[in-house]
Structure 1
Amino acid sequence: MTISAQESIVQVISDLLVEKFEVPAEEVRPDAPMRELLTDSLMVVEMAIAVHETLGVKVEEDELRGTTLAEFAEAVGARRTAR
């Protein structure tokens, strides 16, 4: 994956966090733990659905709880290129 493709996945996920989940934009940074951005279980489930609908990649709830934004975007990007 190229840097620009990785950055665009980070941007898509960041946009979802800000627009759909109303996370303050200043909190959405690559090193932010996803568990801090998605503060409850419902948000985690909804993000997994949104990522699948938007990027065509299935993700597990545990991935969303155990990674930073950058790590999560990297995992999603790897799955997109593996298809």
Structure 2
Amino acid sequence: MKILLINPPIRLGHKPSFFPIGLGHIAQILLNEVHKVDVLDINAERLSNVKVLERINVNSHYDLIGTGGLITIYNIVNYIF
């Protein structure tokens, strides 16, 4: 199964200061189960909503797309999905 994990932006006014450890753990578990996993770290790359959709559409052959996030970024996650 081909899976995309998305780390949404957290604080748009601040530079990212940490690696999403939980996302890394999930990715490794999926890799151990012989899945193909890509991670899109919007928080680190500071991509616009349009760029995120372009990235996802270029690789639209994902079987599953997963994300998480805080309520403060709900509008961004809702726009993407």
Answer yes or no: same fold by TM over 0.5. Answer: no
Q: Which has the higher strand share?
A: 2
TM-score of the aligned structures, taking structure 2 as reference length: 0.26
Which has the larger Rg? 2
Q: Which has the higher helix share?
A: 1
Structure with more contact order per residue of length (Cα contacts < 8 Å, sep ≥ 6): 2
